[in-house]
């Protein structure tokens, strides 16, 4: 049975790291004293220690200690023995690369199926989907595979942005990129706007937050999902 929070972002404009999610996380991680943090995505190239410190400071406000997976001699055993897990955002290519390099992707999938509470933000949410093909990140490294956790039956496009009316920008929109993806791929994609998250309880996936999300399916018109509804594919 899965128990997951899959968030578009760790930080919304004008707030500190994870602040907007902390009330939800306090309930989600109720009874948890220590959390395993996976800092492999390294936003802006920061070190694992620096990233873990940021997560540690945020979770200290709800009385949860944080330890980075890199602090353990055996990352597989660290995941097996974790009471709760958080995978932070950054570069999805590097995150997936390290999950394969350390041989922990399959064991992470296994423990999530056994009700270990999980939080993912940005890249850490991208890996919850069928594959990582809808990330917005640059391919700074080449992971062995694009296949990820398949904890949910669709992909996430985190930080989803709508076209700006009147903009003179000539580049492709997120919607355009996802339409290109669906020429060659059947996997549905959920455009998850900043400040929104998914709450997963076993096979029930609920959209939460104050914003709608945009669901794309092959050969269908995109639809807007209201906050508080179940995401059904």
Among residues 122, 145, 167, 227, the one annotated as catalytic is 122
Tell me how far apart the alpha carbons of residues 97 and 91 are, in angstroms, rounded to a whole number.
10
Q: Is 214 in contact with 176 (CB distance < 8 Å)?
A: no
**10 included as an active-site residue:** no
The distance in angstroms from the start CA to the end CA of the chain is 19
Q: Where are the beta strands (DSSP E) in 80-122?
A: 85-87, 118-121
Among residues 53, 150, 159, 182, the one annotated as catalytic is 159
Per-residue CA distances from 80 to 50, 51, 109, 119 (Å) = 24, 22, 11, 16
**162 included as an active-site residue:** no
Residue partners of 116: CB distance under 8 A and separation at least 6:
3, 82, 83, 84, 85
**150 included as an active-site residue:** no
Among residues 8, 10, 125, 137, the one annotated as catalytic is 137
Q: Is 212 in contact with 195 (CB distance < 8 Å)?
A: no
Which residues are known to be catalytic? 122, 137, 159
């Amino acid at each position: 049975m899965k128990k997951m929070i899959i968030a578009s972002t760790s930080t919304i404009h004008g707030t500190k790291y994870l602040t907007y999610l902390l009330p939800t996380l306090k309930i989600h991680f109720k009874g948890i004293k220590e959390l395993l943090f996976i800092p492999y995505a390294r936003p802006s190239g920061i070190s694992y220690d620096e990233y873990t410190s940021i997560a540690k400071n945020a979770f200290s406000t709800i009385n949860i200690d944080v330890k980075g997976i890199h602090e353990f001699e055996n990352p597989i055993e660290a995941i097996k023995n974790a009471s709760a897990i958080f995978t932070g955002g950054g570069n999805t290519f590097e995150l997936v690369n390290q999950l394969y390099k350390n041989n922990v992707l399959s064991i992470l999938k296994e423990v999530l199926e056994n009700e270990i509470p999980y939080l993912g933000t940005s890249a850490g949410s991208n890996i919850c989907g069928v594959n990582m093909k809808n990330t917005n990140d640059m391919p700074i490294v080449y992971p062995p595979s694009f296949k990820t956790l398949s904890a949910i039956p669709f992909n996430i496009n985190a930080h989803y942005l709508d076209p700006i009316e009147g903009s003179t920008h000539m580049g492709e929109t997120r919607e355009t990129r996802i339409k290109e993806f669906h020429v060659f791929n059947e996997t549905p994609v959920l455009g998850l706007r900043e400040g929104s998250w998914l709450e997963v309880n076993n096979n029930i996936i609920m959209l939460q937050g104050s914003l709608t999300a945009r669901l794309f399916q092959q050969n269908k018109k995109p639809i807007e999902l209201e906050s508080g509804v179940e995401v059904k594919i």
